């Protein structure tokens, strides 16, 4: 495959390496005509060497990103920051729902709308009779 410039073949280095690896797997070489990487010709030993160096740099970059992500999450946790969105079901809502579900005239749809939760969330925490389920017990134990 012949390309005018290397940046025309891929969005970033990782994408470029994956593309060339795929081409090589199908027995297709790559030749860059102009610009940065004009010396790359994956059908030659020198071209494979240059491209191998690019691949090693891309792998190094991926590992650095992963390390920074883990360190950032650990730092945030140490400062008291919890990840993810807040739970829709609170202990107060759960207690109200338990009391309401114990009454025969309760309409589940109206209850869910009033509490701002879905039926799935309601039934994940309590049974139709208003009894606690494991997720409901876990929620109340967090208090």
Structural domains of the chain sorted by starting position, each given as residue range(s) with its CATH number in brackets: 2-78 (3.40.50.1390), 91-141 (no CATH)
Secondary structure of residue 56 in the 3-state scheme: helix
Tell me what pLDDT residue 127 has.
92
Query: Using CB atoms within 10 A of its CB, is residue 79 exposed (0-12), middle (13-18) or buried (19+)?
Result: exposed
Count Cβ atoms within 10 A of the Cβ of residue 136 and give its class: 0-12 exposed, 13-18 middle, 19 or more buried: buried
Q: What is the pLDDT of residues 102-139, one digit of tens each?
A: 888 999 999 999 999 999 999 999 999 889 999 999 99
Q: How many whole angstroms separate alpha carbon 66 and alpha carbon 61?
A: 9
| Structure confidence at residue 61 (pLDDT) | 81
Confidence (pLDDT) at 37: 66
Residue 60: pLDDT over 80: yes
pLDDT at 36: 66
Residue 82 has a pLDDT of 82
Q: Which of 17-21, 70-74, 117-121, 134-138 has the least mean pLDDT?
A: 17-21
Report the mean per-residue pLDDT for the chain. 87
CB atoms within 10 A of CB 4: 12
């Amino acid at each position: 495959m012949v390309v005018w410039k290397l940046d025309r073949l891929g969005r970033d280095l990782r994408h470029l390496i994956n593309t060339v690896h795929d081409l090589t797997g199908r027995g297709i070489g790559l030749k860059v005509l102009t610009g940065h990487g004009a010396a790359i010709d994956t059908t030659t030993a020198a071209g494979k060497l240059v491209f191998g160096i690019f691949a090693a740099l891309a792998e190094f970059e991926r590992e650095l990103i992963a390390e920074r992500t883990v360190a950032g999450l650990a730092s945030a946790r140490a400062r008291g920051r919890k990840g993810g969105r807040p739970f829709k079901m609170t202990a107060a809502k759960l207690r109200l729902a338990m009391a309401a579900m114990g009454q025969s005239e309760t309409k589940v749809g109206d209850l869910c709308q009033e509490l701002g939760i879905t039926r799935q969330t309601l039934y994940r925490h309590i049974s139709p009779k208003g009894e606690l389920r494991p997720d409901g017990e876990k929620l109340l134990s967090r208090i």
